[in-house]
Amino acid sequence: MTRTNEKNFPFYKKIGVPTFENLAQQGGFDTYVDLQNAYRYIQSGEIVLEIGAGYGRCIDFLIHKGHKGTIYAIEQSAELCEHLREKYKDIAVIIEGDIYQSYLPERVDSALWMWSGIIDFAPDEQAHTIKHLADLLKEKGKLFIDIPRLGAQTIAIHQDNQHITMKTDFGVMECYIPTTVEVQSYAHAAGFNRVDEINYETSTAKKRTMYILLK
Ligand SMILES: C[S@@+](CC[C@H](N)C(=O)[O-])C[C@H]1O[C@@H](n2cnc3c(N)ncnc32)[C@H](O)[C@@H]1O
């Protein structure tokens, strides 16, 4: 059976880098407010994994920070991977693949799942992926999950507080925003010890929540 997450892949196949960058500007992610919050927990020498690297926004931020540790970036879209390999071949290890079944040559200190990456997955897929990510992290590893604040309006159609649909020229996206209780229960099942929560606004005043899952 095709996963909900896989049904959302065509959107990223077709979107193209300029439109993706435009969306980041509209959302207020181009100024890296989200990543500045996350980086308070990250040391410069850490091995970092980015889940769903898109057009390379998080890699750009890490370069801007002078990050010294190895950067792994997993991305399922072949089209986006071509762009990432071209732009960051000497800076990051680009892995073309599905996070559901991707493995790394070593365990990482921090994993970044930013800009609503998790909401492209159905609830059971979210739980499964968090468990898988826990295995990819070191003993004291951290997982960062960034989502729209529950109840805040987004550019998508809101079926209810948690189910949202985005209809675009590139395809339809079916998304699910987890509650704090759900994130805590995924974290608990995956063996994390603590979940921190940061509520913040992007530079275009979009209300967001970032969870930091700590082992
Ligand atoms: C909302 S974008 C976030 C991009 C980037 N992380 C950022 O913060 O700018 C989500 C990205 O995750 C990728 N993605 C979605 N499902 C994936 C999966 N199962 N494995 C790897 N990448 C995935 C998409 O192709 C897309 O590039």
Could you tell me the residue ranges of all domains in the chain? 4-148+174-204
Which burial class, exposed, middle or buried, applies to 13 when counting CB atoms under 10 A from its CB (0-12, 13-18, 19+)?
A: middle
Residue from 35, 72, 77 nearest 55 by CA:
77
pLDDT of residue 116: 97
Residue from 25, 176, 141, 196 nearest 132 by CA:
141
Q: Is the CB of 12 under 6 A from ligand 1?
A: yes
Question: Considering only CA atoms, which residue is closest to atom 9 of ligand 1?
Answer: 57
Question: Considering only CA atoms, which residue is closest to atom 13 of ligand 1?
Answer: 52
pLDDT of residue 81: 98
pLDDT of residue 122: 97
Whether this prediction's pTM lies above 0.95 is answered by: yes
Provide the 10 A C-beta neighbour count for residue 170. 15
| Superfamily designation of domain 4-148+174-204 | Vaccinia Virus protein VP39 (3.40.50.150)
pLDDT of residue 171: 87
pLDDT of residue 153: 84
Successive 10-residue mean pLDDT values, the chain, 215 residues: 93 96 97 98 98 98 98 98 97 97 96 98 98 98 97 88 92 95 98 98 98 98
C-alpha of residue 206 to centroid of ligand 1, in Å: 19
Question: Considering only CA atoms, which residue is closest to atom 27 of ligand 1?
Answer: 54
Phi and psi angles of residue 172, each rounded to the nearest 5 degrees, phi first? -100, 135
